Amino acid sequence: MGIVILVVLCFISKMLFFESIDPVLAKSCNISIKNLSMIFLLLLSLTITIACQIVGSLLIFSLLVGPGAISFQWCGSFYKNILFSVIISLATVWSSLTISFYCDLPVSLCITVTICILYMVGVMKDNFYSYG
């Protein structure tokens, strides 16, 4: 099922990118925004449904929102943002597994705290550069 979701997402990625930049122009180019949004929502709900059985809802929320928000703070390009978000997700999970193993802590706590710390570093960076 995961492979099907990735294939469909790769197929609609250019239209999603175009719609996210300028929805009015995308609509004028005969891109059905309503259908595209429904397909994306369906893919997202399938992903959450599959992962929720394994991981848990709080961790799913942290891993869906956190890396995207962190990469949005550090990257300017759409595709770099996606790549950086995937790298942050993988690095967070693997580093949290290591921390959890050595400190005898729950994995979900380590992942959520690591994402929170990375987000706060980005917020401090933005505040530092806005005042300086």
pLDDT in tens, 22-70: 888 888 888 888 888 889 888 988 888 887 777 777 788 888 899 999 9
Dist. CA 81–CA 74, nearest whole Å: 8
Count Cα atoms within 13 angstroms, Cβ side, for 18: 16
Residue after which a domain boundary falls, among 35, 54, 73: 54
Beta-sheet strands, E only, within the chain: none
Which tokens is 72 given?
A: 């949005």
Could you tell me the residue range of the domain that residue 99 belongs to? 57-132
Residue after which a domain boundary falls, among 54, 72, 88: 54
Residues 6+ apart with CB under 8 A from 43: 5, 8, 9
Q: Are residues 63 and 124 in the same domain?
A: yes
Q: Are residues 126 and 74 in the same domain?
A: yes
C-alpha distances (whole Å) from 69 to each of 1, 72, 99 are 26, 5, 23
Total of domains in the chain:
2
Is pLDDT above 70 for 132? no
pLDDT, tens digit (0-9, with 9 covering 90-100), for 70-98: 999 888 888 899 899 999 999 999 999 99
Count Cα atoms within 13 angstroms, Cβ side, for 94: 6
